Structure 1
C-alpha cells in the first residue's frame, strides 16, 4: 500500500499504552469493584509497568540519547522521555494513594491488616523471628559492597534487594553498606500471622528480613534498610536468527537477563549520599533512576492471602457455559464436518477445543495434524494430545514460534518434548514471527479426504482461555481448509514470503501476502458507498492500533462520511476528536476478563462481511509477522459476533471513550437508560444460545 500517512494526527504509542495502564489503575480505585479484584488490578498495573520498562523504555531512552548527542537527529524526532517519565510518576503517585488510602483501610475494615511501612505488633515479633530463622535465613546471601568490585556484584533483573546501612560502636560515623537479597522468587511474598482481637495480620517477606537484619550482621548497628530493584532491557534482536534457531534463542534468553539497566528503582527514604554511591557503583544513568516506595514488585499483590472469606471480595462466580449441542454429539470432528462452530472464550467452555485435539489424536482415520503454537500453556493438554497423536502413528507437524517474548523458554521445553515423541517441529522464520492461530486435521476415508480447520483470535492455550476473551472457529469449509493446507506447506519451507511463489488466498487474509491489501479494499468499498450516498459503516475491535497507513485509511473513510466504530483495548495512535476523525469513535473496555479478540465488520451496502483473526494493526503484525484473519460465512454465527460487538459498544459501566488527549472518559448511562456491563451481558447472551 502506498504511504499515505504523512502529516496526519497521531498519538504517541507509549503515552497511549500508559493511558491504557492508567485505565487498569482506575479499576483498582473503583469502589464498585470487589475488594480483592481491586487489589488484583493494582497487581496487573504493576506487572504491566515492569514490562513497559523492559520492552519499551529502552527505545524511549535510546531516542532521547540520540537527540541529545546528534544535532541532525534533533530536527527529525522529539524525545518523549520527559512526558513518559512525568506520566509514570503521576500514575505511581496515584498507585500509592490507592493502596494506602483506599485498599489497606478497606482490608482493615474487613478484619485483615497488611503490615505496610509501620512497626509490627510486639505480639508478632516472636513468630516473625521464628519464621526468619527456620524458613528465610537459608535463602539469604548478604554481600558487603565495600569488599567487592562493582563488576563482581550483579543485580538480577526485577528481583528484590535491600541495601543495609551499618556502623560499629567504635566508629559510628564510618558507614558500611551491604546488599541483602529478598528471596521472593523462592518464598511466598506474604505470610499470615496469628490474629489479634479478630484481626488477621499479614506481613511481607521484606519486613520479615528488615525486622531481623541485625542477626545477619553481628557487632554492627543497623542504621537503615532501603529497598532497590533493577529492570533490564529485554529487547534482544531475534529477527536475524538462522540455522540452529533453538540454540540461538536459548543463548539470547540468557543474555536478556544480563541486559543493560532501564530502571533503577530505589526507596524514596534512601539518603542522597547512598543514592549517589549506588548510581556510581552500578553505573546507573540519571534518567534511569526512579524514585519509588518502601516496597517494590507489588505485582505480587496478586497472591495476597485471603484469611477472611467473603463473597463480596471477588467477582461473582461466572462458570463457562456448556454448549449442549456439542455435548450430545458422539464425535466432535463429525459435527465440524457438518457445520461451522463458533466458540466464545471464556464465556463458553474451552474443553471443546481440547476435545477436538484429543479425538483427532486417537481417531484411526486421522492421518495428519498441523498447528501453530505461539504461547503454549505450561501444562498444555493440547501439546500432550499432539504427542499422543504422534505415538499413535499420525503425521503431526507443529510450528513453534520461539520468538514469543517471555514465553521462549516454555516453548523450547515443549518443542523438545514433542520432537522426542516424533512430532515434526518447524521453528521460527528468520525476521518473522508466526503469530497466526491456526490448526488443520486431515482424515482419510478410503479415497475421500476430510479437512477440519481451527482458526482463532487467541492462542491455543487452555490456561489463558479462562480469562482472555477470544473466539475460535471450527470449520470444514473446503476453500478455507485448502488454503490452510497451502499456508502450512509454506511455513515448513521457512522461506521469506517474497521468495515464495504466489499463494492464491481467496478466503483467508494472510499478512505478508494479501491481508493489508484486502482490508484496504474493504475500507475503500465503504468509502465509495458513502460517496454514493449509501449507508457505510466499519466496526473494528483490536488490542492495538498503531500502523500509520491503516490509520490513514480510517481517516479517509471518516472524511468520506463512513461511520467508524473502534474498540481498542490498549495502544491507539489514531487521534479522536480531530477534523480527520470526526466520524470515528474509540472505546476501551477493561473488566474482569482481558479483551483480546480481533473482529472486523464491514457494512458492504447491507451485505455485511465479518472477519476475525490474530492481527492487530501494528507495524509488527502487518509488516513482520505471519497473521491470519478469516471470514465468518455462516449467517447465524455472524449474528452471534455482531451481537457480542453490539453489547460491547453499548457498555456504559466499564467502557470509556478516548478523547483527543487520550484520556479515558467514562461512558455513563443516559437518564432513564439501563446500565449495561458488556461482559456480564455477553455471558447471559451466550447462555441463552442453549435455549
Structure 2
C-alpha cells in the first residue's frame, strides 16, 4: 500500500466527500416515496449545489492537479460529476416527466416544440421574447465575454456561397420565466424558454440556409481577493470586488452534446476559455430553475407542518424578558415558531430598561425584521452595535445594503478584518436591572427569519450572567477589529470560542471520555455537524474509538473521517440525513459517566471554523432543555427512513430497506407539538 493509499484510508478527500453529499440529494430526487414537486426541488438543489462547487472548489482542485500530477482529485471529481449527471438525466427523463404527464402536464423535455404549440410558440416569441434578444456574431474582431452561469445558444449558420458564421444568442432568463405554460385543447404544456427561441431562430437569421444550435454555459470562479492593508474602507473594497465576481476566471464550459470538436475549439479560443474544464452536459443547463416549474398542488408537495407556538406559560401580562429571568428557553426552528426570536429583538427595541444591544449578523434576511428592530432601537436612543459579516459568500451585497441602512439610522456597524470571518450567532441585551442586567441568545444558525423556515437550528435564550458576561467580553474584542493573538488576555470559562479555547476544550472533553473508559466508567460521544474536516479533532475521535468508546456522528455534508476501519475507527458510526428541511444545527454530547455535558454552537469541525473564524459554542445548563435537545438528537440517530450510513468507501448506504420506521424530522415535529403519544414515550426511555 502506498503512502497515498494509507492517507486515503485515514481521511476522505474533502471535495469527493462533498460530492457524496450532493449524490445523497440526488437520491431524494429519485425517491418515488417523496412528493413529486419536492423531488423536482431536490433536482433544483442538486443543480444549484453543483454550480457553486464549480465556482468555489473546482478552480482549487484544478490548480492543485496542475501543481501535483499525483493528485487525482480533480479527475476523480469530474468522473463522479459525469456519473451523477447521467443519473440526473435518467431521473428527470424517465421518472419525473412521466409522473408529470400522469398529472396532466405535458413537460416538453428534450422534444423541442410539439406540433400543437407551433403557432403559439411563434406568437409568444414575437410578443414576449424578441425584444430581449441580443445576438452576437463571433469572430476575432468581435470579442465577447459570456456572463457567469448565463445560458447561451451557439448558433451555427450555413449561408449562401458555402459561407459559415457562428453566433451567440442570449437566453434572457434574468428578465423572463424559464418555463412557459400554455393550455391547449389536448392539455397543459410546459416548454423551456430556449426551446421557443430555438424554434424561431430562422426569424432572427432569415438569410441562413441551415441552422444548428447548441446550448452552453460558462461558470466563473467566485473567490474575492480582499487585502487587509490597501487602505480602502472594507465596504468600498467589497463592492468593487463584487462587481468583478461575474468576470472571474472561467472554471467550467458546459456544452450540449453534438457540438463538433472543430466548433467547440473555435468557441474555446475565441471566448478565452482555454483553462476552463470542458464538460459535455445535457440539452439544458441551469436546471436549478426547476424549482420554479409552474405546477402546483398540495397533493404533490410535503404536507403542511405549521410551526409550533413556543411561549409556554406566558400570558399577555408577561413579557419575554420577564420569562427569561426565571427560566432559560430554547427554540427549535423550523419546528417551533421563530416569532420568539423576533419578539426578543422587538422587546429590546422598546423596553425602557434596555441600554445596549449587541448582535452578530452573518446572512441578513432580504427584508430583515431583526434589522428593522435594531434600527428602531437605535432611533429610540439605545446604543446598538452590530457586527455584519461582509464575507458571507453570495450574501455580501445584501449584507452591505443592510449595514449601510443600519449605520445611517445610528447603529454602530463593525466589520471583521478581511482575513477573519465572524461566524458566531450571538445577541446580547444589556439593561438597567439590579439582578438581571444581561439577556441574550446564542444559536447554531443565522439570525435570519427567512432561512429559519427550512433550516433546522437550535436557539438558546438565557439570562445566565456569567455566560452573557463573556459574550460582552467577546463583543468588546471584536469591536477592536483585530485578529486574535496568543497575548490576548481573554478568558472564557463557559463559552467555547474559536481562536481562543474551542479546539482545546473539545479535546479535553474527548480526553475525559478516554480517561473514563480506562477507568471502566460509562462513556459515549454523540456529535451532530454540517461538516467534519479538521484532522486534529478527527485524530482525537480515532483515539477515543481505539479506547473502546462508542461514537455516533450525524454529519450532513463534508466528512473526512473514515468510519469502521479496524484499529482506527471501528467504534465510530456516521449517519447522514437529507429530508424536507436542511439539517443545520451543531450539537455535541459527551456522556461523562451518566452526567452528560451538552453543547451547541456555530462551529463545524473544519479548518476554516477552527483556525480562521470566530465561532462560539456554549453549554446547555438547564436540565429540562438538555433532555429536550438530547431527545431530538436521539430521534435523529434512530432515523431509519431518511438517514443513510456513510460507510468506509464513502457510499450512502440506506439504514434499512424495510417499509415504515422513524422519519426523524416528522418525529421531532410531532414530539415538539405533542401530537403523538409514542414520541413522548420515546423521550422517556
Q: State the Cα distance separating 1:222 from its structure 2 match.
A: 4.2
The answer for the alignment partner of 2:664 in structure 1 is 678
| Among 149, 154, 157, the residue aligned to 1:158 | 149
Give the distance between the partners of 2:424 and 2:106, measured in 1 at CA.
Answer: 46
| Mapped partners of 1:239, 1:97: distance in 2 | 46
How much has 1:286 moved relative to structure 2?
Answer: 7.0
Q: Trace 1:103-142 onto structure 2 (pairs within 5 A).
A: 103-142=96-135
**1:622 is aligned to 2:622:** no
Q: What residue number does 1:381 align with?
A: 369
Q: Which residue of 2 aligns with 1:392?
A: 380
Any conservation in 2 of the 1:321–1:347 contact (CA below 8 Å)?
A: yes
C-alpha RMSD of matched pairs (Å): 1.7
Preserved contact between residue 542 and residue 598 of structure 1 (Cα < 8 Å) = yes
Residues 166 and 224, structure 1, Cα contact 8 Å, conserved in 2:
yes
Q: CA deviation at 1:103?
A: 0.5
Correspondence list, 1:56-135, <5 A: 56-68=57-69, 78-135=71-128
Correspondent of 1:533 among 520, 535, 551: 520
2:394 is equivalent to residue 406 of structure 1: yes
3-state SS, counterpart of residue 202 of structure 1: strand
Q: Quick one: structure 1 residues 97 and 674, their matched pair in 2 at CA, closer, same or farther if it must change by over 3 Å?
A: closer
Q: Could you state the TM-score of these two structures normalised by the residue count of structure 2?
A: 0.95
What is the match of residue 3 of structure 1? Answer: none
Distance 1:221 1:568 in 2: 57
CA contact (8 A) 1:435 1:614 kept: yes
Please state how far the C-alpha of 1:674 moved relative to its aligned partner: 5.3
- Distance in 2 (CA, whole Å) between partners of 1:237 and 1:275 is 31
Distance in 2 (alpha carbons) for counterparts of 1:206 and 1:627:
45
Matched, 1:255 2:247: no
2:465 paired with 1:478? yes
For 1:100-499, list aligned pairs within 5 A: 100-146=93-139, 148-149=141-142, 152-168=143-159, 170-171=160-161, 173-197=162-186, 199-238=187-226, 240=228, 243=231, 244-285=233-274, 288-306=277-295, 309-325=296-312, 328-329=315-316, 330-445=318-433, 450-498=437-485
Q: How does 1:474-623 map to 2 (within 5 A)?
A: 474-498=461-485, 501-579=488-566, 580-623=568-611
User: 1:459-486 CA deviation, whole Å, 9 max, x = no partner?
Assistant: 0000000000000000000111100100
Say which SS state the counterpart of residue 605 (structure 1) adopts.
coil
- Counterparts of 1:162 and 1:86 in 2: how far apart (Å)? 26
Which whole-Å CA distance do the structure 1 matches of 2:369 and 2:224 have between them?
Answer: 30
C-alpha distance in 2, partners of 1:145/1:430? 40
Any conservation in 2 of the 1:191–1:205 contact (CA below 8 Å)?
yes
C-alpha distance 398-629 of structure 1, shift in aligned 2 (>3 A): same
Conservation of the 8 A alpha-carbon contact between 2:314 and 2:323 = no
Alpha-carbon deviations, 1:314-350, whole Å to 9, x = none?
Answer: 0111111112516635311111121100000000000
Q: Please, which runs of 5 or more residues in structure 1 have no aligned partner?
A: 1-5, 69-73
| Contact 2:436 2:465 survives alignment (8 Å) | no
Q: Bigger shift: 467-476 or 501-510?
A: 501-510
Tell me: CA distance 1:596–1:47, structure 2 relative to 1, closer, same or farther (3 Å): same
Judge conservation of contact 1:497–1:512 (CA < 8 Å) in 2.
yes
Shift of 1:499: 6.3
Aligned residues: 668
Q: Retained in 2: the 8 A contact 1:372–1:400?
A: yes
Distance in 2, matches of 1:358 and 1:371, equals: 13
Secondary structure at the counterpart of residue 280 of structure 2: strand
Secondary structure at the aligned position of 2:10 is classed as coil
Does the residue aligned with 2:312 lie in a helix, a strand or coil? helix
Deviates more, 1:321-330 or 1:430-439: 321-330
Q: How far 1:449 sits from its partner (Å)?
A: 5.8
Query: Counterpart in 2 of 1:71?
Result: none
Q: Could you say what secondary structure the match of 1:325 adopts?
A: coil
Report the counterpart of residue 683 of structure 2 in structure 1: none
Pairwise CA distance, 1:63: 0.5
For residue 653 of structure 1, report the CA deviation from its aligned partner.
0.5
Question: Displacement of 1:79 after TM fit?
Answer: 2.8
Contact kept, 8 Å, 1:214 with 1:221, in 2: the verdict is: no
Task: Give the whole-Å Cα distance in 2 for the aligned partners of 1:248 and 1:202.
Answer: 44
Deviations 1:216-272 (A, max 9, x none): 222223421110000001122347466411111111112221111110000112122
Moved more, 136-145 or 49-58: 136-145
Structure 2 CA distance for aligned equivalents of residues 689 and 334 of structure 1: 29
| Distance change (3 Å), C-alpha of 1:310 and 1:410 | closer
TM-aligned CA deviation for residue 282 of structure 1: 1.9
Cα distance change, pair 242–634 in 1 and its aligned pair in 2 (3 A): farther
Q: Distance in 2 between matches of 1:495 and 1:337?
A: 34
Q: After the TM superposition, which parts of structure 1 deviate over 4 Å for at least 4 consecutive aligned residues?
A: none
Query: 2: CA distance between counterparts of 1:387 and 1:300?
Result: 35
1:34-71: per-residue Cα shift (whole Å, max 9, x none)?
01100000000000000000000011000111124xxx
- Would you say the 8 A contact 1:124–1:194 is kept in 2? no
Call closer, same or farther: CA 1:358–1:241 in 2, change over 3 Å. farther
Q: Give the Cα–Cα distance (whole angstroms) in 2 for the partners of residues 394 and 448 of structure 1.
A: 20
Distance in 1 separating the partners of 2:265 and 2:564: 46
Query: What do the CA deviations read for 1:587-623 (whole angstroms, capped 9, x no partner)?
Result: 0000000000000000011111000000000000000
Residue 38 of structure 2 corresponds to residue 37 of structure 1: yes
Change beyond 3 A, Cα 1:322–1:242: farther
